[in-house]
Structure formats: C-alpha cells, structure tokens
C-alpha cells in the first residue's frame, strides 16, 4: 500500500534562506505528484504538478523535482519570505488506485 | 483562473440536524471529491464522483451521503450531524483521472 511521508513535520528558517522540503513515497508506480500549500484555516492551493514522465517543474521561486526510482520529491523554495509560512503537503496519484495519497505535511515558519 | 467554491467558510450546527455542504466548480471538471481534515489524521476521502449522477464511497463514508445532479455542483450531506463530524471539510475537482486537483477554501463545521 502506498505511503507518503514528509519529514520534518515542522521547520523554522530565517528570511532570505533557500530551503528544501522533502516528500518520500513507498511505491514508485505513480501517475503524478502534486505539491500544495495550506494556510491556517484555509483550503489547499496547488503549487506544482509533476507528471511521472517529468523530472521537475518550476513556478517563480518554487522548483519541484521528482525521482520515481528512489521514491522522492523535493520542493525547493528560493529566497524565502515571511509570506511563505504555511503548511506544505505533497500528494501522489498511484497507478493502481485512483485515490491520491497525501503526506501529513511540513509546517514551515519563516522568521523575519 | 479555475475556481472551486464552497458556500460557507464556517458553520455551527446542532446534533441531529441535517446539514448540507455545497461545492461548485466553474471549470467543467468531470471528477469531484469531498475530504475531511483533522489534526493528526490528515486528509481523508469521504465520497467522490466521476460524473453527474455518479457517486463512489471513499475511505470514511459512514454518516455522510452526496448528491451530484449537475456537473458543476457536488453536495455533501450529513443526515444527522454528530459531534464527531466536527471538522474542516474540503471539496476538490479535477479534469480527469490523470490530472491535478483544485481545492476549495474549505468549510469549518462545528457540531454542538
């Protein structure tokens, strides 16, 4: 059964630093992987979607990579800002099941 | 820009009431989903629908039902609300099975 893990659960970094959030999954048979952002008490905002045939996707200061063979994805945030503070979740779409599987998220706090 | 709209941000209902949570998408998406999100448990799938009049049970359908009479609208129904249904409810949609998800802003439901 597919499992998605995000470590660490929480992270605090000073403003301006570049940082990497990690997502690992146990079964490499996936269609795609999606990164989301969630602000407290709000819904999920899609950041990046990586199809299984892709290695990475970029949007502004965000870059997401995918290594299916090792079961890992990273979300790179450049020049972090206090407005980046939020919980970041990754979700995979397995090939064998149409239900996406979410990680528990990493709660990111950017220190001004 | 694509949009998934949940009709209420906050709701307070009494135990035993029948509760309707409404979700509307303006993207002509085929698939729609209802999740609940609880601390420590993450997102859990309640029901989903691949097309009008169709519905499928997710991982935790007990105590809930759904209605999809029109393509753009997917309603979650709590037949008799209970305190253990206090949660954040999130609606999502997608074009089709291999595409990414778009989420609404969530409804925080409190059952007293």
Give pLDDT tens digits along chain B (112 positions).
Answer: 669 999 899 999 999 999 999 999 998 899 999 999 999 899 999 999 999 989 999 999 999 999 999 999 999 999 999 999 999 999 999 988 888 999 999 999 999 9
Of A31, A34, A105, Cβ closest to residue B101? A34
Position B94 scores a pLDDT of 94
Instruction: Identify the band that residue A97 occupies on the pLDDT scale cut at 50, 70 and 90.
Output: confident
Share of chain A above pLDDT 70, in %: 100
Position A27 scores a pLDDT of 95
Position B79 scores a pLDDT of 95
Q: What integer is the mean pLDDT of A67-81?
A: 97
Size of the A and B interface in Cβ pairs below 8 Å: 45
Of B101, B104, B105, Cβ closest to residue A100? B101
Position A31 scores a pLDDT of 94
CA-to-CA distance for B4 and B91, rounded, in angstroms?
8
Position A78 scores a pLDDT of 98
Q: What is the mean pLDDT of chain A?
A: 96
B46 φψ region: left (φ > 0), alpha (ψ -120 to 50), beta (else): alpha
Asked if A94 contacts A2 with a C-beta cutoff of 8 angstroms, the reply is yes
DSSP-assigned letter for residue A82: G
CB spacing of A42 vs B105 below 8 angstroms: yes
Q: What are B's interface residues with A at a Cβ cutoff of 8 A?
A: 4, 6, 42-43, 45, 48, 58-59, 88, 90, 92, 97-106, 108
Asked if A7 contacts A22 with a C-beta cutoff of 8 angstroms, the reply is yes
Q: Where are the beta strands (DSSP E) in A52-97?
A: 56-59, 62-67, 72-77, 86-94
Nearest one of A105, A5, A94 to A47, comparing CA atoms: A105
CA-to-CA distance for B78 and B66, rounded, in angstroms?
9
CA-to-CA distance for A44 and A48, rounded, in angstroms?
12
Of B59, B90, B97, Cβ closest to residue A43? B90
């Amino acid at each position: 059964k597919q499992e998605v893990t995000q470590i660490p659960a929480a992270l605090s970094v000073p403003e301006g630093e570049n940082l990497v959030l990690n997502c690992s999954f146990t079964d490499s048979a996936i269609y795609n992987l999606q990164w989301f952002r969630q602000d407290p008490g709000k819904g999920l905002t899609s950041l990046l979607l990586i199809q299984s045939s892709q290695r990475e996707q970029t949007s502004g200061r965000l870059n997401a990579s995918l290594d299916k063979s090792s079961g890992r994805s990273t979300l790179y945030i450049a020049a972090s800002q206090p407005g980046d503070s939020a919980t970041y979740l990754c979700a995979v779409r397995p090939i064998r099941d149409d239900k996406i599987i979410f990680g528990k998220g990493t709660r990111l706090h950017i220190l001004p | 820009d694509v949009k998934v709209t949940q009709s209420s941000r906050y709701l307070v209902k009494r135990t035993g009431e029948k509760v309707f949570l409404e979700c509307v998408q303006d993207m002509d998406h085929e698939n729609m989903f209802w999740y609940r999100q609880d601390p420590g448990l993450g997102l859990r799938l309640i029901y989903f629908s691949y097309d009008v009049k169709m519905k499928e049970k997710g991982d935790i359908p007990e105590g809930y039902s759904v209605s999809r009479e029109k393509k753009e609208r997917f309603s979650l129904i709590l037949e008799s609300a209970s305190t253990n249904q206090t949660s954040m409810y999130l609606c999502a949609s997608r074009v089709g099975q291999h595409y990414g998800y778009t989420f609404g802003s969530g409804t925080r439901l409190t059952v007293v």
